[in-house]
Structure 1
């Protein structure tokens, strides 16, 4: 540690020790340092920023180069430099307000007209960015202090009013129209990565010239006038070019909308500088972005300066980020990517990102090192005190962790912690005691093998329940996967009924067993692969021995003794079957993987068709049938705040059915409980568990309208709150019940959590009404 400290002190005092490092300082007319001045070096395609002391650093082998200084409040200055140490004096610019009759809307319309051309001219680039962050805690709530000590063995209050730092060095690859891949090559410091990623990287991985500027609605979007008001404030001029200052004001308070100022160059209508404010989840940010023309009208950001004020659970402070960008390559030609995932943004941390030494940082640091950063490398930094929850053996036993290897190793064995020890409780099995494990072995860069074995003891049945899913990922590009599943366990008669978690809770605490189970001994083989970008094929073969079960216990904490008996307790209903399923996404700009995540991407319909056949008589009471079903799911974005999604499915049993058992009927997601672990959007919330099923044919529709501002959120104090309003229509037709309909209104915080009021109709007559709280664990795949 002393050696490292000496190295940093040496670097700080010797600003010219390396020939390629040239340090400069920006001062105003009174000799005071100026923070946040953007400096562009055309010969290097690089932008840098002055720090709080006005200093900046240039790393180059060139002896002569040009500096172009830009900031709205100061005169644009161009200076040819040959010295190693540079002091630059900048002067305040004159702001003119004599043309206030100019309409801001007309200037914005010109910029919107040009925006498409500016966004399309650039087909790709590779850039490198250096980011320095400085966080100051002003207040720390005692609750947050205790949490910090429990998790990381530190008291955050010890760092009150002491600056914490973060340095990042990133490589970014951009491919038109909207794909950003960020590789973090170096990371050092104590500011949480989640804050840095949300506050810095989300804005940098976007363009103000497209409709979506990161997660924000751009003020140059084609729908801008629906969400923003614009006001002309005045202009600056350098004698040749006018820069119009336009104020942006959002019409409603929403975290997806921006406020602030745009400086627009007259004639080209390109953005020269932007100062934008955001307010989201306790973070108030001001982001200053300097633009420069690199070539042929390609004007892109060369530096970012962000100031963030945060307030969360009584903990307050500020964060300051400075980002300098150097463009390594720029393409105006279409780039063809090997990877099918054309619209996915990624942030990846290189293996050695956290291990970079002082030599690395001095090579890429575009601001001289602060004295305070040197002190951070002392033993009282958070990084040096942080123990890390995974290092406690007790914590690993509680929350799980790697027993062998790590995420980056060729092989690992992972234990899943206490939450999986007592996996289930029901009156058939009793309590499940055991655990599940994760195993992965990387064969090469193209493939790996994953296994998820589990083993449990059922206390009431006095029986071992065990099995595993083993997957061979043999073609990453086409998502080719071969999966072998086998096991012996109890299974619900309907996979779409109440989740086992909900039945677990109600059985143990309330004495209510909503689900019924049978014994399933099985082996199955499945293969899925993307035949092309728009078509996915899945085939399966399944062999099952299935038999009814009785309740083996009635224990519950409420003391209730009248327990509902398990259904079909004496039946035997084996099955040998195969399945063929196709998914088709007609919009070629997106892969089928993206399209299947329709509620996230909202881009394309997904059609599916499935054929099932149960055959053979070699087992006992083999279920024989032929079933075909198909449907479409689609989410249609009406504008940035409103969308419609629908899901239609229909199916039919197409042959004479022999020994077709209840469990092979077509079931529908339903659960008539106040607290529900199914979805508000695509399940029935006023139907009992096994109330409706069919062995003939059916038609099913789920239609949902969702909007950020439908009714309640027009109330001023609710604007900006993170919930969505939804209107639901759900219908089902079968020959047994004819028509069943549910309608409702809900508010949801995402697709997984919400509350709503619903009414159901059976053949046009009101059947039920009720309020339902939804925590959709099934969609999270943890139910």
Structure 2
């Protein structure tokens, strides 16, 4: 089943049915198999606005619970990329919700190899947000969200193909069992690219490849709820910058830095910590240009201060393409350097080499270092799943 979109004759309304992965999207040791459906309905409100509604409903075969959520999105002011959304539901979420590993790849590893790198908790939520461009190259987004969450245990006792069922416990010294608790938070983010060129395509603003770095500033505030037994409150501030520069065919240098801190943090739960894009899975959906590929998803999650930097240099010839029979092949080679510093932890770095086709498919070998002292080596395959 490949999915299909149906439209009215005037194309002012549409219904999208998704492929097979939308009907059985996940398997994990907490829920078992998700069985259900996802679809999207849309309505053209005017030449400059459209409304999309995406509901999902699944049954968790092991936990014997319904999992559901929805997204209602209004796209407006196309020359300013206006996007107003309302989301809500009750689902099983990754503790590393901001940069976790692919749920699809984790499902495959869990079913085939009894390996579940992603750990889960239950979250009911309702969120409202808006994003738009307030000046050329300057985007502003704001959101308000309520959550009710709690830890979960495994409801699968026997792996499908044999093997050990791993506990649903993140690998981090700061992890504690999370009782039922509520959270109310707001977030604000600015992204700015100086001298951003653009085109107008069918009335919509489309950015060209930027010539200058993109800078970001994000502030998040969790408000104390006095009626709660477990009162989570904090201020979180982070800054980032990123850029990719092309020097010709197969020659590209990219960098990305991010730093931040928590202030006045009280009774943070594990999902509230700053999490990083890290994985030990040999097959990942993530690009080798950002993230860490030899450490657990949750190992360095922090409730204090952090800084990270990522650099990648893609080039047409470096090592293996110096071989005569490979010189005319259409793949490139790349060097990668990733570094992370968190409060009360020693600096961690990874140095890597990869071959592939830009970020479509790559194979890389990485070496990890604690305080510049060698710790481990591993091989990883990057295979982004088509969106």
Q: TM-score, normalised by structure 1?
A: 0.46
- Deviation of 1:530 after TM superposition, in Å, equals 0.5
SS of the aligned residue for 1:428 comes to coil
- Deviation of 1:419 after TM superposition, in Å, equals 2.1
Compare CA radii of gyration and give the structure with the larger one.
1
> Match for residue 523 of structure 1?
126
- Deviation of 1:444 after TM superposition, in Å, equals 1.1
- Deviation of 1:675 after TM superposition, in Å, equals 2.1
Distance in 2 (alpha carbons) for counterparts of 1:623 and 1:537: 26
> Match for residue 456 of structure 1?
58
Give the direction of change, closer, same or farther, for the CA distance of 1:565–1:525 in structure 2 (3 Å limit).
closer
Give the direction of change, closer, same or farther, for the CA distance of 1:656–1:512 in structure 2 (3 Å limit).
same
Mapping 1:326-725, distance limit 5 Å: 398-402=1-5, 404-405=6-7, 409-495=11-97, 496-566=99-169, 571-590=179-198, 594=207, 601=209, 603-617=211-225, 618-653=227-262, 655-725=263-333
Distance in 1 (alpha carbons) for counterparts of 2:271 and 2:15: 35
Assess if the C-alpha contact under 8 Å between 1:549 and 1:566 holds in 2.
Answer: no
Assess if the C-alpha contact under 8 Å between 2:158 and 2:165 holds in 1.
Answer: no
Assess if the C-alpha contact under 8 Å between 1:551 and 1:566 holds in 2.
Answer: no
Q: TM-score, normalised by structure 2?
A: 0.91
> Match for residue 202 of structure 2?
none
Deviations 1:273-319 (A, max 9, x none): xxxxxxxxxxxxxxxxxxxxxxxxxxxxxxxxxxxxxxxxxxxxxxx
Assess if the C-alpha contact under 8 Å between 1:554 and 1:563 holds in 2.
Answer: no
Give the direction of change, closer, same or farther, for the CA distance of 1:433–1:747 in structure 2 (3 Å limit).
same
Assess if the C-alpha contact under 8 Å between 1:426 and 1:507 holds in 2.
Answer: yes
Distance in 2 (alpha carbons) for counterparts of 1:408 and 1:761: 59
- Deviation of 1:715 after TM superposition, in Å, equals 3.1
> Match for residue 358 of structure 2?
750
Give the direction of change, closer, same or farther, for the CA distance of 1:619–1:439 in structure 2 (3 Å limit).
farther
> Match for residue 347 of structure 1?
none
Q: Which runs of 5+ in 2 are unaligned?
A: 171-175, 200-204
> Match for residue 380 of structure 2?
772
Distance in 1 (alpha carbons) for counterparts of 2:342 and 2:151: 27
Distance in 2 (alpha carbons) for counterparts of 1:773 and 1:641: 19
Give the direction of change, closer, same or farther, for the CA distance of 1:408–1:456 in structure 2 (3 Å limit).
farther
Q: What root-mean-square deviation, in Å, do the aligned CA atoms of Structure 1 and Structure 2 show?
A: 2.0
Mapping 1:94-113, distance limit 5 Å: none
Deviations 1:129-172 (A, max 9, x none): xxxxxxxxxxxxxxxxxxxxxxxxxxxxxxxxxxxxxxxxxxxx
Distance in 2 (alpha carbons) for counterparts of 1:682 and 1:407: 44
Distance in 2 (alpha carbons) for counterparts of 1:752 and 1:622: 44
Mapping 1:75-94, distance limit 5 Å: none
Distance in 2 (alpha carbons) for counterparts of 1:602 and 1:711: 30
Bigger proportion of residues as strand? 2
SS of the aligned residue for 2:160 comes to coil
Mapping 1:313-324, distance limit 5 Å: none
Deviations 1:499-527 (A, max 9, x none): 21122112212122222111110010110
- Deviation of 1:537 after TM superposition, in Å, equals 0.4
Assess if the C-alpha contact under 8 Å between 1:533 and 1:590 holds in 2.
Answer: no
- Deviation of 1:705 after TM superposition, in Å, equals 0.8
Tell me how many residue pairs correspond in the alignment: 375
- Deviation of 1:620 after TM superposition, in Å, equals 4.9
Distance in 2 (alpha carbons) for counterparts of 1:604 and 1:720: 32
Assess if the C-alpha contact under 8 Å between 2:197 and 2:210 holds in 1.
Answer: no
Give the direction of change, closer, same or farther, for the CA distance of 1:590–1:413 in structure 2 (3 Å limit).
closer
Distance in 2 (alpha carbons) for counterparts of 1:593 and 1:578: 28
SS of the aligned residue for 2:281 comes to coil
Q: Which runs of 5+ in 1 are unaligned?
A: 1-397, 596-600
Give the direction of change, closer, same or farther, for the CA distance of 1:661–1:570 in structure 2 (3 Å limit).
closer
> Match for residue 760 of structure 1?
368
Assess if the C-alpha contact under 8 Å between 1:602 and 1:637 holds in 2.
Answer: no
Give the direction of change, closer, same or farther, for the CA distance of 1:441–1:699 in structure 2 (3 Å limit).
same
SS of the aligned residue for 2:110 comes to helix
Assess if the C-alpha contact under 8 Å between 1:740 and 1:760 holds in 2.
Answer: yes
Higher RCO (C-alpha 8 Å, min separation 6): 2
Mapping 1:127-138, distance limit 5 Å: none
Give the direction of change, closer, same or farther, for the CA distance of 1:603–1:555 in structure 2 (3 Å limit).
farther
